[in-house]
Amino acid sequence: MSNKRKLANDLVPGSAMHPGELLKDELAARDMKQIDLANELGIAKNVMSEIINGKRNLTPELAVRLEDALGIKAEFWMKYQVSYEIDRIRIKNKKAIEKAKISDKSKRKLASV
């Protein structure tokens, strides 16, 4: 067993939060309707709904539009999107390692990479 310390950045989250959830909270805080933001962004209401429900990812273009509409930097939205995608991959990999029919020692080695 290795004495290597795990850093907080190395930990695998239990779940990943899509930026659409944050956007939904932001709309609620501003007492703003999804349809109103969709119109301001120049996107269809079903596209806005897909983003809010985590079924569609943010693009750089949409992040810039959100910056203009809400005053929240495009970089913030994109960093959140990338973090979400990385977390999903880490969760998927962790589940694959846990499911794999290999020894516990090998699983620990894979998990520490």
| CATH number of the domain enclosing 96 | 1.10.260.40
| pLDDT tens column, 60-74 | 999 999 999 999 999
With respect to residue 4, please indicate whether it lies within any of the assigned structural domains: no
With respect to residue 73, please indicate whether it lies within any of the assigned structural domains: yes
With respect to residue 76, please indicate whether it lies within any of the assigned structural domains: yes
| pLDDT tens column, 18-35 | 999 999 999 999 999 999
Which pLDDT score, from 0 to 100, does residue 96 have?
80
Q: How many domains does the chain divide into?
A: 1
How many other C-beta atoms are found inside a 10 Å radius of the C-beta of residue 1?
5
| Separation between Cα atoms, residue 105 and residue 26, nearest integer Å | 45
Range of the domain at 81: 17-111
Which helix (H) or strand (E) segment is 70 a member of? helix 60-70
Which pLDDT score, from 0 to 100, does residue 10 have?
58
Which pLDDT score, from 0 to 100, does residue 100 have?
75
What pTM was computed for the model?
0.74
- List the chain residues with pLDDT less than 50: 1-2
Residue type, 94: K
With respect to residue 10, please indicate whether it lies within any of the assigned structural domains: no
